[in-house]
Amino acid sequence: MILHMLLDYDTLRVIWWLLLGVLLLAFAVTDGFDLGTGTLLPFVAKTDLERRVVINSVGPVWEGNQVWLVLGGGAIFAAWPQLYAVSFSGFYLAMAAVLLALIIRPVAFKYRSKREEARWRNTWDWGLFVGGFVPSLIFGVAMGNVLQGVPFRFTPDMQIFYEGTFFGLLNPFALLAGLVSMAMLIMHGATWLVLKTDGPVASRSRTWGIRAALATVILYALAGALLWSFVDGYRITSAINTVGPSNPLFKTVESGVAGMWFANYAAHPWTQLAPAAGIVGALLTVMALVRRWEGVAMLTSSLSIAGIVLSVGASMFPFILPSSIQPQASLTVWDSSSSHLTLFIMLVATCIFLPLIIAYTSWVYKVLWGKVNPSDISGGKTHAY
């Protein structure tokens, strides 16, 4: 028996769809509070010392948290090559903006405290704000466009053509999705600062966290209502071959199906736990912040993010990236993956290295746990940004 035949092709496709969701979720929960912290920096920290406290709250972990973004991009490239080709070419300018913001962020971390001039430090502080705000917004805008369908098509010989524009991505529903993303990450960053700081910074962060959590509930509920009322879904109308070749053109798809993105919730009621977690988690975060339950607020904020992210995947399955101009070309779990052997080899590698990454990351958090003390920063007793 050939080793990779131990797992069926359709099983491997679902496993890698789940793994992709896990990697994106890990990025949203871990690097999400980094992005939220950067976005909050100008608003929760008024003095230079307070800003250094905020920066040092994420200083030991922000680089490690970005590993999940790299792993997610690598998984898309290796496991879902057609998804990688379409999304990274179609969203090229948007991805470039995100990349530029993510480049500014580490430079700002490293250079911000190299000089004591107020203008120098203020400039890099706003760089940290841009490095948190821009990715938070654009990632949500991207999800909003995915739910509506992306204007790409395949030729019979599988050449990809993207017929959209950068400004076409900035449509009302996508911008609303961007606001949902930004609100939930600000909520998450605020709960992190409440957990890691004391005094005025923690007090201001608590206020912003409550506002952001309430905004998350309102905006997410509004996005769901608009998705039901105005955003049509997609439906496969031909027989589904779960072990067939990775060629999207071998199926037929109907677009413009009202309420189709909610069909999975009706067919599989347990999937309703995802959007429920998104709303309940945010409401519990408000309660935890009001009652000053710092650790609980961090957990409930993570629960809300998990629910919101997972609700997108649950509603769209088996679609991964619908096409708004050639529905037949829409990418699904069953026709856009790598080969059976490739998915198996990657799964073996993941089973070896993913636990190591989790173990190392957990060890780093354990060693560097505790609140950031302003006296240590001002007194120069410890290394600080």
The string of pLDDT tens digits covering residues 62-92 is 888 888 988 888 889 889 999 998 888 888 8
CA atoms within 13 A on the CB side of 126: 5
Tens digit of each residue's pLDDT (9 = 90 or more) over 166-178? 888 889 999 999 9
Are 227 and 212 within 8 A, CB to CB? no
Determine the length of the chain.
385
The predicted structure's pLDDT at residue 1: 45
Q: What is the pTM of this model?
A: 0.93
Nearest Cα residue to 374 out of 109, 207, 203, 196 = 196
Which amino acid makes up residue 247?
A: N
End-to-end Cα distance, the chain: 56
Are 141 and 164 within 8 A, CB to CB? no
142-151, 256-265, 355-364, 368-377, range with greatest mean pLDDT: 142-151
C-alpha to C-alpha distance for 14 and 176, rounded to whole angstroms: 30
Q: How confident is the model at residue 379 (pLDDT cuts 50, 70, 90)?
A: low
C-alpha to C-alpha distance for 45 and 375, rounded to whole angstroms: 16
The predicted structure's pLDDT at residue 352: 92
- Percent with pLDDT over 90 in the chain: 65
Residue 57 CA, distance from chain mean position: 21
C-alpha to C-alpha distance for 58 and 51, rounded to whole angstroms: 12
Tokens 């070749």 found at: 245
Helices 92-111 and 118-148 pack at an angle, to 10 degrees, of 150
C-alpha to C-alpha distance for 78 and 73, rounded to whole angstroms: 9
**Mean of the per-residue pLDDT values of the chain:** 91
CA atoms within 13 A on the CB side of 123: 10
The predicted structure's pLDDT at residue 378: 72
Which has the higher per-residue pLDDT, 256 or 297? 297
The helix or strand, by DSSP H or E, that contains position 185, with its residue range, turns out to be helix 172-196
C-alpha to C-alpha distance for 11 and 13, rounded to whole angstroms: 5
C-alpha to C-alpha distance for 62 and 103, rounded to whole angstroms: 13
Q: Name the phi and psi angles at 234, rounded to 5.
A: -130, 150
Cα dihedral sign, 204-364-133-51 = positive
The percent helix, strand, coil of the chain (3-state, each to 5) is: 75, 5, 20
Which amino acid makes up residue 150?
A: V
Q: Which of 96-100, 150-154, 361-365 bottoms out in mean pLDDT, i.e. has the lowest?
A: 361-365
Count of other CB atoms within 10 angstroms of residue 186: 29
DSSP conformation letters of 321-355: E-BSS-GGG-EETTTSS--HHHHHHHHHHHHHHHH
Are 340 and 12 within 8 A, CB to CB? yes
Tens digit of each residue's pLDDT (9 = 90 or more) over 317-352? 999 999 999 999 999 999 999 999 999 999 999 999
Structure tokens at 188: 């998450």
